[in-house]
Amino acid sequence: MSFTSPASIDPVWAAFAAIDWASQKHSWSLLPAEGGSIESGQLDNTPEAVELWAAELRRRFPQAPIAVALEQKRGSVVYMLSKYQHLVLYPVPPSMSAAYRRAFCPSGAKTDPGDANLLLDLLVHHRQQLSPIATDTAETRLLRFLVEQRRQLVQQKVGLIQQLTDSLQQYFPQIRTWFGSLDTVLVTALLHRWPTLSDLQHAHPGTLRRFFVDHACRNDDLIQQRIQAIYAALSATTDPVVIEAGTRKTAAIGSLLAAAREQIHALDKRIAAVVADHSDAELFASFPGAGAATVPRLIAAFGTDRNAWTSAAALQCFSGIAPVHKSSGNSTVVVMRHACPKFLRQTFHEFAGQSIRFSEWAKAYYRHQREDQKASHHTAVRSLAFRWIRILYRCWKDRQLYDERLFLEAQGRRNTPRTGWNTAAGFHKPATPNS
């Protein structure tokens, strides 16, 4: 699902509703568009109850759609309600509803019916600050789920590697010295076959050599160095309690790592298959640094509906790439935007970082930020991502492949009238006084 801009034309509504979703029962409030008193009630957390509630609304208000506010952008409530064409869902950011609650309930009092009424008030009087959920194509929505699931699995795998490192440090620290990264099939298989240093040292050199070759290690010198190091190593501890506890933990982590790798591989295959048939795959693949992992994330970030984003600025702000300006009196502070979808911001941040190696102007701009503006690495990459979003948006909107040569030529034409500027790969910066 993607989000339309708040600037979208507001349709004629039949009624406004709000739901405060909970694990068992959900409070709802309703106000007909022609006015009257607020109605309220509760729903059981079952598809059947939601079906009856939605059908009753359709029967009562057949002439126009109904706007529904809720505190979820994604989840069971969204999936249950999104299949009803007469309901237009407006997700309310939890931070917004919490601030709204504090403004009207400074005591901190909180009830589910009261929250539903506050959401309804937000929807009725401040709807222009919210963006309704718009349905995208099945392929794009599937990609959005798959790439997020992949990222979650990768993060879980990183956590497992950290646990494995801590476990081995207690009784078998040499593994890190011999193999460097623990995030390999070779290390997992070795620990499964020889859980301790003693087990490993009892293996025949020929067995070890065959094992390394079977696991894609074919450098004879490296294999010999590892075998010699194995037989020369000393046990970090001889305490049987520490060794047994450590090996059991290591075995459990190894099984989880193997499962995570298998699922990530399966997701990669499915993502690649979906991207291969997607209409925007070639467009996003034309950008420098956009590879097999980045292209599906960019497709998911923009969506397929060209009306979903009315401007690049809307996406820059929504993604958290655009900074926040805070002014008070004569002071102005520019800070990083924290209220945003973190995965979306991460997508643009990672793409911008990858583009530095493949794009001449991106590399020049990054150097300018680091050397001339004295920005930190992440600040410079965010600033680069800010510029990339404008380019991505225009190509996406026009369905045009990115061509760096054409982009640099256009940049040169736009900046030709300016004087006193140095040009680096199409990126213009002020000249030094002595230049």
Per-residue pLDDT, 315: 92
DSSP letters of 60-105?
A: H--SS-EEEEES-SSSHHHHHHTT-TTEEEEE--HHHHHHHHHHH-
Contact 42/28 with Cβ under 8 angstroms? yes
Give CATH 3.30.420 domain extents, the chain: 2-135
Beta partners for 40?
A: 29
What is the pLDDT at residue 205? 95
Which residues of the chain are in CATH 1.10.287 domains? 141-274
Q: Which fold does the domain 141-274 belong to in CATH?
A: Helix Hairpins (1.10.287)
285 in Cβ contact with 272 (< 8 Å)? no
Predicted pLDDT at 57: 92
**pLDDT value at position 227?**
95
Q: What is the DSSP string of 15-38?
A: EEEEEE--SSEEEEEEEETT--PP
For residue 319, give the 3-state DSSP assignment.
coil
Burial of 120 (0-12, 13-18, 19+ CB in 10 A): buried
What pLDDT score was predicted for residue 74?
67
d(CA 217, CA 209): 9
Q: Each residue's pLDDT tens digit in the chain (435 positions)?
A: 344 444 456 789 999 999 988 777 889 999 999 888 999 999 888 888 888 999 999 999 998 999 999 887 666 777 788 888 899 999 888 888 888 888 877 776 677 678 889 999 999 999 888 888 877 888 998 999 999 999 999 999 999 999 999 999 999 999 999 998 999 999 999 999 999 999 999 999 999 999 999 999 989 999 999 999 999 999 999 999 999 999 999 999 999 999 999 999 999 999 999 999 999 999 999 999 999 999 999 999 999 988 888 899 989 998 999 988 777 777 777 778 877 889 999 999 999 999 999 999 999 999 999 999 999 999 999 999 999 999 999 999 999 999 988 888 877 776 543 333 345 444 454 444 443
Q: Which amino acid is at 82?
A: S
320-328 long-range CB contacts below 8 Å, 24 or more apart? 320/344, 320/345, 321/345, 321/348, 321/349, 321/382, 321/385, 321/386, 321/389, 322/386, 323/382
pLDDT of residue 1: 39
Confidence (pLDDT) at 327 = 73
- The CATH architecture assigned to 2-135 reads 2-Layer Sandwich (3.30)
